[in-house]
Amino acid sequence: MIRFEDQAGLRVVTLDRPDKRNALTPDMLCDLYGAFMFRGDAQSAVRAVLLRGEGPVFCSGFDLDLCQDDGPEQQMMRTFLISLSEVVKQMRRSPVPVVLAAHGAAIAGGCALLGGADVVVAERGAKLGYPVVRLGISPAVSAPFLLDAVGPGPARRRLLDPTLFDGAEGARIGLVHELVEERGEVAPRAHEIARDLASKPPLAMKATKKWVLEVAGEAKMEGRAARALDASVSLVAGDEAIERLQGLWKTR
């Protein structure tokens, strides 16, 4: 459900579960992590990555159906949160630029993936956000990456408030870097940007990405991400989260 292909210096990684709005499974997160590893020949051949989703939306978040039969320790939800944090960190570690096509919707865990990208393209009406506090889940896991992307004011607003926001608001706060009018324009534009980045001198690109992250404090990111993950994980087996998740099954 994750596929990737390398073509002329560009690695295109696709979330390919369109019938489920690309809802993430632990396997998909594991494969996604792998897609941002560059072995052997790919090490020098891949010069940019495009992350996109098949179907009507980029990604609707975790596949919560998988949590329905979870044990009292909520192992599945823990796995989701840990894997998500690892994937975003891996995307940031990627030595080449990462372009993300957030068409339609990028929600919860799907929106968290934006924190791993260098350039995000979305359409004006795309639905973005972190509505998981409604489920008694803390989106803290995304906080360090969102803070880095948009600064503490907007990050605070968007992580505490479960309301979705549109692509235009995403662009205003700096989460979306290039805004297009229509959903159908997102993929072509993201492709175009990714191809352009792949064509640029690789040493300069690699050095620049690494340096910008470094001056912005990436050395502290590992520790911040670990604290953030703890904050999210510490709640998953609590009464509030379990009751609210069970409420979700009842309404389905």
Partner 1 sequence: MTDLAKLNIDGPVATLAFNRAEQRNALSIELLDALHVKVDQLAEADGVVVTVITGAGRAFCAGMDLKQVIIDADKGGSGKPDLPRRLLASLGRLTVKIRTLPSVVVAKVNGAAIGGGCGLACVCDAVVTHEDAKLGFPEVDLGLCPAVVAPWLVRKIGAGPARAVLLRGGVMSGGRAGEIGIADVVCPDRDSLDAATDEVVRRYTESGALALTATKNLLNDLDRSRDETIVLRGAELSAGVLATEQAQASLVSRLR
List of residues contacting partner 1 (CB under 8 A): 132-140, 143-144, 147, 151-157, 159-163, 173, 224, 227-228, 231-232, 234-235, 238, 240-241, 244
Task: Provide, rounded to whole angstroms, the least separation between the CB of residue 168 and partner 1.
Answer: 13
CA gap 193, 215 in Å, rounded = 24
Closer residue to partner 1 in complex, CB, 28/135: 135
CB-nearer residue toward partner 1: 75 or 234: 234
Exposed e or buried b for every residue in 46-56, given b needs 16+ CB within 10 A?
Answer: bbbbbbbbbbe
**8-state DSSP, 165:** E
Of the pair 95, 162, the CB lying nearest partner 1 is at 162
Report which residue type is found at 117.
A
Shortest CB 176 distance to partner 1, Å: 15
Phi, psi of 97 (to 5 degrees): -65, 145
Minimum Å gap between C-beta 160 and partner 1 is: 6
Compare residues 21 and 158 and give the one whose CB is closer to partner 1.
158
Shortest distance in whole angstroms from residue 150 CB to partner 1: 9
By beta-carbon proximity to partner 1, the closer residue of 59 and 235 is: 235
Closest CA to 53 of 108, 113, 95, 10: 113
Provide the 8-state DSSP code for 59: B
Give the residue with the Cβ less far from partner 1, 12 or 114.
114
CB 109 within 8 A of CB 133: no
Q: According to DSSP H, which parts of 69-108 are helical?
A: 75-93
Sheet containing strand 48-53, strands side by side = 2-7, 10-15, 48-53, 98-102, 119-123, 178-180
Q: Which two tokens stand for residue 160?
A: 């505490």
Closer of 60 and 232 to partner 1 (Cβ)? 232
Residues 6+ apart with CB under 8 A from 188: none
Task: Give the Å distances, CA to CA, from 215 to 62, 169, 187, 208.
Answer: 32, 27, 31, 11
